[in-house]
Amino acid sequence: MTSSATSHARSRHVSARSNQQHARLQRIYALRTREERQRTGLYYVEGLRFVAHAVQHHIPLETLVVCHSLLDHPFAYRLVQQQKQLGTPVVEVPAAVFRDLSRVLEPQGIGAVVRQRWESLEEIRPDAELCWLALQTVNSPGNLGTMLRTSEAVGGAGVVLLDNSIDPYDPAAVRSTMGAIFSQRFVRISIAAFKRWKQHHRCMLVGTSPSAPHDYHAVTYQRPTLLLMGEERKGLPQELQALCDIMVRIPMVGETDSLNLAIATGIMVYELFNQSRLNNNPC
Amino acid sequence: MTSSATSHARSRHVSARSNQQHARLQRIYALRTREERQRTGLYYVEGLRFVAHAVQHHIPLETLVVCHSLLDHPFAYRLVQQQKQLGTPVVEVPAAVFRDLSRVLEPQGIGAVVRQRWESLEEIRPDAELCWLALQTVNSPGNLGTMLRTSEAVGGAGVVLLDNSIDPYDPAAVRSTMGAIFSQRFVRISIAAFKRWKQHHRCMLVGTSPSAPHDYHAVTYQRPTLLLMGEERKGLPQELQALCDIMVRIPMVGETDSLNLAIATGIMVYELFNQSRLNNNPC
């Protein structure tokens, strides 16, 4: 091969690599939409905390995205080296490209494409954990992420998402979980199938509503507990209230007609957690 | 006056009015920045719920902004008429201008410029209410608004903001209060002055930290209680911890190293609320 032919082949090789990289990045950008996340079963996480959490939870990374000029943590370097040795595809990008891909003000130069985890309701054993959340309508992905973070804090198992409600793998939801996205568990099921499941499985399905008869703090919760949290202000629709073993209210004074949904969930799961702690360590 | 002179005078009048309106709208736009809110002592609220809450709380509206083509609620019409009769300046704008001013997807065609309310620490009597929040660092205005909404729900008085921390009159904070912005009370004070105040006033200053010795649920809170909430993950700086009468922790399991600040605040104020309810209505 002549020198000119070698140079030509190299440039063709570089161009093919660059095209492949461009296509990969386009696929990552596309994961911002729910449609693409649903189509591929993938999502994108960014930041050292998130990538390290995924690795800790033995969640295989489909692709690692690295920007060396932004990466300044020795631990991050080691993580990248380990992933290369494990054969994880690594896309190296310049700072401008990484910033473009990023949704934070000060990107840390590391991100990863990760496979979503979903389970069927038949697979879960709700009695093994403190509680499961069940949700139909959550308007803010950030709120959902915060609920998962709080569930993790009390040893809650995860969330049963009814019908086609909010996507926990939305970037804003993922960010608000602070890493709980990798340990919390996810089930998506139709309300009809949930109703059937409920008929054949022993559990305490607790619904919340501002006008419910029972004070949440005066109820003894029994495992397995499923906490069905309704929409802010609107509460739970009748068909779901009818399914609950008990409806409880979180009392409020003044003119307040509702709590933020993540706050209400936090108050409920800490009530369950406190009761469980007192039972395990009686005073 | 000739017909031409009348027409000229009218057009000059219209143009002067239009210039005045333009200037008013520019001043409202400017309230998006903290500097302008600080300079003027004003802020902007939008939506029927917020304007109605302000009126209910007898907070005089500096200016009412109305877009008749977006306003479709009879109650809103009555409110606008009442305010006109009270002499409130009303700026009427077309839909495009209102949408431009608005920060929500479906604006309701009503907004108002309102004067901020601030009190000095000497004016407040903390023992009259369930609790006050004290905050140094809150990174998200939405989180601050949610904390005020929860404080309102338990009958908390308001918030003492230390040093030059976050602005409760930030539009995102105001929106998250769901109206509590008009009933919660606000104090801004330097840490040095807060320290002096603390030395001369009897109150239980409760700080929170993940490594604190006392479980929040095992402590009996005494009025007046001031809840000093630290920054997420970083917690309270040493100089503020030293000022507290007691440091408590909200227990967490698993890998969680912190809770969202608004969630932690919600759990704390509901603990105070529950203790207070039990004391008032002993089982």
First to last CA, chain B: 85
Every domain of chain B and the residues it spans: 3-115, 126-280
Q: Say how far apart CA B11 and CA A93 lie, in whole Å.
A: 60
ipTM: 0.91
Q: What are the beta bridge partners of residue A42?
A: A115
At B137 the pLDDT is 86
Closest CA to B164 of B191, B141, B184: B191
How many other CB atoms are found less than 10 A from the CB of residue B201? 16
pLDDT band at B200 (very low <50, low <70, confident <90, very high): confident
Beta carbons of A267 and B266 less than 8 Å apart: yes
Give the Cα separation of B185 and B28 in Å (integer).
Answer: 23
Averaged pLDDT for residues B250-278: 94
Q: How far apart are the C-alpha atoms of B278 and A128, rounded to whole Å? A: 32
Minimal C-alpha gap between A131 and chain B (Å): 13
How distant is the Cα of A182 from the closest Cα of chain B, in angstroms?
11
Q: A255 — contact with chain B (CB < 8 Å)?
A: yes
**CB B172, CB B142: distance < 8 Å:** yes
| CB contacts, 8 Å: A185 with chain B | none
**What Rg value do the Cα atoms of chain B yield, rounded?**
23
pLDDT at site A282: 42
With pLDDT > 90 as the criterion, what percentage of chain B qualifies? 73
CATH fold of B3-115: 60s Ribosomal Protein L30; Chain: A; (3.30.1330)
Q: Is the pLDDT of residue B169 over 90?
A: yes
For residue B125, what are its two tokens?
Answer: 């009597």
Give the pLDDT confidence of A225-282 residue by residue, as tens digits: 999 998 887 889 999 999 999 999 999 998 888 999 999 999 999 999 999 998 775 4
Choose the closest CB to B263 out of A183, A266, A274. Answer: A266
Say whether residue B251 is in contact with chain A using an 8 A CB cutoff.
yes
Number of residue pairs across A and B with CB atoms under 8 Å?
91
DSSP for B213-243 reads SEEGGGPPP-SSEEEEE-BTTTB--HHHHTT
Question: Which pLDDT value is given to residue A165?
Answer: 80
Query: Tokens at residue B235, please?
Result: 């917690």
Q: What pLDDT, on a 0 to 100 scale, did the predictor assign at position B282?
A: 42
Q: Which of residues 180-199 of A touch B (CB under 8 A)?
A: 180, 183
Whether residue B263 and residue A217 make contact (CB cut-off 8 A), yes or no, is no
Closest in B179, B259, B274 to A217, CB measured:
B274
Nearest CA in chain B to A177: B260
- Whether B48 contacts chain A with CB within 8 A: no
Q: Is B277 on the interface with A (CB under 8 A)?
A: yes
CA distance A234 to A236: 7
Q: What is the pLDDT of residues B22-81, one digit of tens each?
A: 888 999 999 999 999 999 999 999 999 999 999 999 998 999 999 999 998 889 999 999
Give chain B positions within 8 Å (CB) of A267. 266-267, 270
Contact assignment for A153 to B254 by CB distance below 8 Å: yes
Q: How far is CA A259 from CA A209, A247, B273, in A?
A: 11, 16, 14
User: Nearest-CA residue of chain B relative to A260?
Assistant: B146
* A219 reaches B (C-beta below 8 A): no
Nearest residue of chain B to residue A182 (CA atoms): B255
- Out of 3.40.50.620, 3.40.1280.10, 3.40.50.1980, 2.40.70.10, the CATH code matching A126-280 is 3.40.1280.10
Q: Is B179 on the interface with A (CB under 8 A)?
A: yes
**Per-residue pLDDT reduced to its tens digit, B84-122:** 999 999 999 999 999 999 988 889 999 999 999 999 988
The Cα–Cα gap between B113 and B29 comes to 11
pLDDT tens per residue across span B208-235: 998 899 999 999 999 889 999 988 878 8
Alpha-carbon distance A112 to A47, whole Å?
A: 9
Encode burial over A43-60: b for 16+ CB neighbours within 10 A, e otherwise: bbbbbbebbbbbbeeebe
Chain B stretch 85-124, residues whose beta carbon is closer than 8 A to a beta carbon of chain A: none
Determine the residue type at B185: R
DSSP letter string, A190-216: -HHHHHHHHHHS--EEEEE-TT-SEEG
DSSP string, A232-260: TTTB--HHHHTT-SEEEE----TT-----
Tell me, what's the pLDDT at B283? 37
The answer to whether B53 and B46 are in contact (CB under 8 A) is no
The residue to which tokens 């049963």 are assigned: A160
Residue B183: what residue type?
S
| pLDDT beneath 70, residues of chain A | 1-14, 281-283
